[in-house]
Amino acid sequence: MELDVLALSDHSAVQLAKSELLQCLSLACGEEVRSTGASTLTLAVEAAANNGASDGYHIDVEWVGHSNRVTGTNPRSVLFGVYALLRALGFRWIRPGKDGELVPCLKAAALRPVHMAEQAGYPFRGICIEGAVSRENVLDTVEWMSRHGMNAYFIQFRDAFTFFDRWYSHADNPLLEKERFDAEAITQTVRQEVKRRGMELQMVGHGWTCEPFGIQGKGWYVHKDPVPPSVTKFFAEVNGKRELWGGIALNTSLCYGNPEVRAIMTDAIVKYAQENPDVDVIHFWLADGTNNNCECSLCAQKRPSDWYVDMLNELDEKLTKANLPVRIVFLVYVDLLWQPLQSRLKPSSRFILMFAPITRTYSKPFLPEQPWKTPLPDYVRNRLTMPTDPAENLAFLEKWFEQFDGPSFDFDYHFMWAHQTDPGYYHIAKILQQDCSNLANLHMQGMISCQNQRVFFPNGLGMNAMARTLWNPKLSFEQVAQDFFRDAYGLDAYDAQVYFEGTSNLFQIALLRGEKPLAERQQAAKTLQKDFEALVAAVQPALTAGRASVVSCWKESWEQLALHIERNRLLAQLLVTLWTQGKQAAIPKAELLYQWAQAHERRLQSCFDVFEYISTIRREIMNAPGLLE
């Protein structure tokens, strides 16, 4: 194939766009692309009036001649445009890694013209690291994101140690031997790959309440070393004591009314910003956990959210004085759902509001036409009940929006735990897609998904739905689902879609998580296994054909569906026993399910997080409300 690709920018994202285009075309056409000058395709940044802040691209490609162009409003958008061009030619990236790539068979002389122009529907389209991950898992996720138009990656903590530790120590999988790793080195590599693609790098969040005071905060670990009185005096006073909350530094609130505490925290953030100029956005969070705030006479004068706003204002002044342009994310989360009454953020373009409704149910979506009708509960320090209803969560957010009219995004957890209690991944994908579509009507400008990275088993419908809808909120779930299954499963895609939708309908999130009475769960148990086997019988002909496919991407999708059937049979046995005989009788069935997951982790490593799966089954299903003991 003869094509001269000219990259009119030295930016690494544009250079990557060039190499990706040449490599993919060579694969699809079965021959190396040669730069002859007979035809030229230009890659260029053409920033719009918004100075390139919004992501968008324009593609005008006929292939013959010298007028072929792919332009973007910023360097990463040039890369997005190249991937859009490749999608128009038939390329697909179903899941991270090589076995998720669908490469079309193309003839260089018959490449179809592509003319399109698109702009992202939301400015915030990102993923936050969570779960148990390897170096390759995270790098594959970042690559998958850029191929699907997502523009931000958030690395929690300073080096994401806890997430790498879960994988390399193989927590909850005795079949694998512990491995050595260097979290700092891996994190640095990830940072470089994020910036290489022109994506926004977001960092930290957890740790500001302990690291500046000399207490390590790499994860939710019990702190075993003695804490000197010079530090404990800064801890929140709860029930008359100043001590680590449950022994865990990250969960320990501080005495935010103490100006010395605020100064130490804000100085640490300024220092971090000075030492990390590659970081575009720093998350400034308070302690994790709930009902753990300081009760001393000073702190009791204002709500935690008031003291939080005071710190944000102090931080803005210090960053401005140091001439540091970094943006700061502040969060509306658990106790901070209750808006400040006395303090107000001063005008600044630095701040981004992050709404983190971690206690919401994922059995239903955020719907703007269903506002919360009941008055919100009063703030009673350390005696709060967190909201589960999506509408009530939004009612709390509206109170914040009465004070803050700057940029905001939803920081949500669809693929943190809830997906593990939706065995078909269909219902949670629909909830996620609806939430993404509704964000603009809820006065938010996108989403950062706090999630496991390995969430493509049994399918990647939810991830595909999230990426596509954050780019284009006008898409319908039905169209997204139809497109995904066609791309991922080939000729018998409809049979796969029916199987997964039927599985989600059968194994309902509300049943598995105990959101419905035990009587309803017991009623479902009567036919659960029989009904699942009916789904298996219906998909069997397509499954047999799919496993024999010569298209490796489709073959792998069907092979994973076969493994999914094995796992769900064990899950059905567990649920029937759990719902009819109680927890103790179900323990052996649960162990069989865990052993299956552990035995298949190497096979499904890139797409199935066994650590989070087992922990979620134990917490959400085995300890769901209302079970027989």
Residue 462 CA from chain centroid, whole number: 11
| DSSP track, 525-544 | HTTHHHHHHHHHHHHHHHHH
- First CA to last CA distance, the chain: 69
**pLDDT tops 70 at residue 50:** no
Q: Kindly indicate the confidence band of residue 116, based on its pLDDT and cuts at 50, 70 and 90.
A: very high
Confidence at residue 271, expressed as pLDDT on a 0 to 100 scale: 98
**pLDDT tops 90 at residue 370:** no
In whole angstroms, what is the distance from residue 605 CA to residue 599 CA?
11
In whole angstroms, what is the distance from residue 577 CA to residue 558 CA?
29
Biggest CA-to-CA distance, the chain? 80
> What are φ and ψ of residue 36, in 5° steps?
-110, -20
Confidence at residue 120, expressed as pLDDT on a 0 to 100 scale: 98
Confidence at residue 358, expressed as pLDDT on a 0 to 100 scale: 97
Give pLDDT tens digits for 387-431.
Answer: 999 999 999 999 999 999 999 999 999 999 999 999 999 999 999
DSSP one-letter code for 617: I
Give pLDDT tens digits for 543-602.
Answer: 999 999 999 999 999 999 999 999 999 999 999 999 999 999 999 999 999 999 999 999
Q: In terms of C-beta density within 10 A (0-12 exposed, 13-18 middle, 19 or more buried), how is residue 176 classed?
A: middle
In whole angstroms, what is the distance from residue 447 CA to residue 342 CA?
29
- Kindly report the average pLDDT of the chain as a whole number: 96
DSSP one-letter code for 439: G
Length of the chain equals 629
Give pLDDT tens digits for 436-492.
Answer: 999 999 999 999 999 999 999 999 999 999 999 999 999 999 999 999 999 999 999
Higher pLDDT, 570 or 54: 570
In whole angstroms, what is the distance from residue 105 CA to residue 253 CA?
58
Q: Is the full-model pTM beyond 0.85? A: yes
Which residue, chain included where needed, has tokens 């005795």?
174
Q: How many CB atoms lie within 10 A of CB 31?
A: 12
Q: How many CB atoms lie within 10 A of CB 241?
A: 10
Confidence at residue 35, expressed as pLDDT on a 0 to 100 scale: 75
DSSP one-letter code for 57: E
Q: In terms of C-beta density within 10 A (0-12 exposed, 13-18 middle, 19 or more buried), how is residue 325 classed?
A: exposed
DSSP one-letter code for 619: I
